[in-house]
Amino acid sequence: MNPTLFVLLLALFCYGLLAWGVRTLPRENWQIFAALPRRRNADGAWQGLNLTWYGLLTANAYLVATAILFLLLGALHAPLAAVLTVAILMLGICVPASRVVAWLVEGKAHTFTVGGAVFVGTLVAPWVVGLANLLPWAEGDRPLPILATLAAIVTAYAFGEGLGRLACLSFGCCYGKPLEECGPLLRRLFGRRPLVFSGELKKIAYASGLAGKPVVPVQMLTATLYVTTGLLNIGLFLAGHFALAFLLGTLVTQGWRVASELLRADYRGDQSFSAYQWMGLAAIPYALAMAWYFAAPATLRPDLGAGLAALWQPALLLALQALWLVIFLYTGRSAVTGATLSFHVHRERI
């Protein structure tokens, strides 16, 4: 497939999904999609476990991001075992870090932070790739080019967090400031089509009391910027510009992480300049140092056809399905909402 056509088709899919999400997901009925009965109460009703759209959309984002990672590294004819090792190690580190860092920064045991997970991932990514090249099953294979692999990782991350912001729209988290508290420029920019959440179970409602009030659509700004960066990065990667793709992806995503917090109203710690902003700021010089340290001659020529073929393997498809299920079960079982269920028979239909 022609790389330009591929990027255009991917852009059509992503932007269409984002357009649907911003219109639909802030509504009250798009937070919980199922409730499972767990324990029966004395009155005959059941305590329920809520399964959330947040978890489903987060799992979708992880799935897309991981598929893009395999696509890009497959375009370099990278060994499947090495790529699987990198993916498993990165996910095994970053997914738990999303909860641990939130607990350390915000003091909350039942929340997640993408910013903290990304910072941890940024620190460990070069060394995870180096470790994957040293493992026994990598012997005899061509080692993963570290800078190109880092470019693929940051590209996958841009898509993952960009599409993952749909989950934030569903849950009502990571929300912006009320427009009434913003300056005239922001009110003029977003006043005609403000973002408004409905539903008392949304985080924006119970944490800040902002349900029904127009807020800065920071989730959609982030989603649009990150997806656009990911699309540009795919073009750069397939053209062999790995250092540029790595630096562009890191500078845009981490620079926006620092700037976007100025537009947010949710709790980010007690400091005026949050720990997440410091993490984003620190990631930029670290990435510059990694780009310099792992610089290599541009001899690799990515092949999109090989990347698409690499995705179409039964083992990989099963692994992606398993990943989706694990992420959904980890993030989709609501710990902050509950349900009371009752069941009955329609006697008139017997």
123 vs 341, residue with greater confidence: 341
How far is residue 281 CA from its own chain's centroid? 19
Range of the domain at 192: 3-345
C-alpha–C-alpha distance, residues 114 and 261, integer Å? 13
Residue 341 clears pLDDT 80, i.e. is over it: yes
What pLDDT, on a 0 to 100 scale, did the predictor assign at position 109? 63
* pLDDT tens-digit series, residues 42-91: 888 999 999 999 999 999 999 999 999 999 999 999 888 888 888 888 88
Q: Beta-carbon neighbour count of residue 276 at 10 Å? A: 26
C-alpha–C-alpha distance, residues 142 and 129, integer Å? 13
Q: Beta-carbon neighbour count of residue 136 at 10 Å? A: 7
What pLDDT, on a 0 to 100 scale, did the predictor assign at position 193? 82
Is 245 among the domain residues? yes
* Range 95-122 average pLDDT: 75
- Residue 198 makes CB contacts below 8 A (sequence gap 6+) with 26, 27, 28, 211, 212
272 vs 133, residue with greater confidence: 133
Against a cut of 0.95, is the pTM above it?
Answer: no
- The count of structural domains within the chain is 1
133 vs 225, residue with greater confidence: 225
The residues facing 264 across adjacent strands are 176
* pLDDT tens-digit series, residues 298-326: 778 899 999 999 988 888 999 999 999 99
What pLDDT, on a 0 to 100 scale, did the predictor assign at position 139? 54
Is 206 among the domain residues? yes
* 242, 299 contact by CB (below 8 A): no
Listed residue (177, 163, 187, 200) closest to 27, CA to CA: 200
What pLDDT, on a 0 to 100 scale, did the predictor assign at position 137? 59
Per DSSP, helices labelled H in the chain are: 3-24, 53-74, 80-106, 114-134, 146-171, 184-190, 203-208, 218-238, 242-260, 275-293, 304-311, 314-331
Is 350 among the domain residues? no
- Residue 250 makes CB contacts below 8 A (sequence gap 6+) with 122, 154, 283, 284, 287
C-alpha–C-alpha distance, residues 72 and 56, integer Å? 25
Q: Beta-carbon neighbour count of residue 129 at 10 Å? A: 26
What pLDDT, on a 0 to 100 scale, did the predictor assign at position 273? 76
**Residue the block writes with tokens 């903290």:** 116
Residue 178 clears pLDDT 80, i.e. is over it: yes
Is 331 among the domain residues? yes
Residue 297 clears pLDDT 80, i.e. is over it: no
Is 35 among the domain residues? yes
- Of the given ranges (11-15, 95-99, 186-190, 288-292), which has the lowest mean pLDDT? 95-99
Q: Are strands 46-52 and 339-341 parallel, antiparallel or unpaired?
A: antiparallel
- Residue 271 makes CB contacts below 8 A (sequence gap 6+) with none
Residue 112 clears pLDDT 80, i.e. is over it: no
- The DSSP 8-state label assigned to residue 31 in this structure reads S
Q: How far from 277 is each of 90, 106, 122, 268, CA to CA, in Å?
A: 22, 14, 14, 9
Is 200 among the domain residues? yes
- Residue 226 makes CB contacts below 8 A (sequence gap 6+) with 158, 159, 161, 162, 165, 252, 253, 256
Residue 39 clears pLDDT 60, i.e. is over it: yes
Q: Which residue type does 332 have?
A: G
**Residue the block writes with tokens 């537009």:** 263
Is 291 among the domain residues? yes
What pLDDT, on a 0 to 100 scale, did the predictor assign at position 154? 95
**Residue 50 backbone phi and psi in degrees, to 5:** -85, 130
C-alpha–C-alpha distance, residues 198 and 200, integer Å? 7
* pLDDT tens-digit series, residues 236-293: 999 999 999 999 999 999 999 889 888 888 766 667 777 888 888 888 999 899 888 8
Which SS3 state, helix, strand or coil, does residue 127 take? helix
* pLDDT tens-digit series, residues 134-175: 877 555 567 888 999 999 999 999 999 999 999 999 999 889
C-alpha–C-alpha distance, residues 232 and 226, integer Å? 10
- Burial class for 312, CB neighbours closer than 10 Å (0-12, 13-18, 19+): exposed
**Type and span of the H or E element at 39:** strand 32-40
Let me know the angle formed at the C-alpha of 226 by 224 and 227, rounded to the nearest 5 degrees.
65
324 vs 335, residue with greater confidence: 324
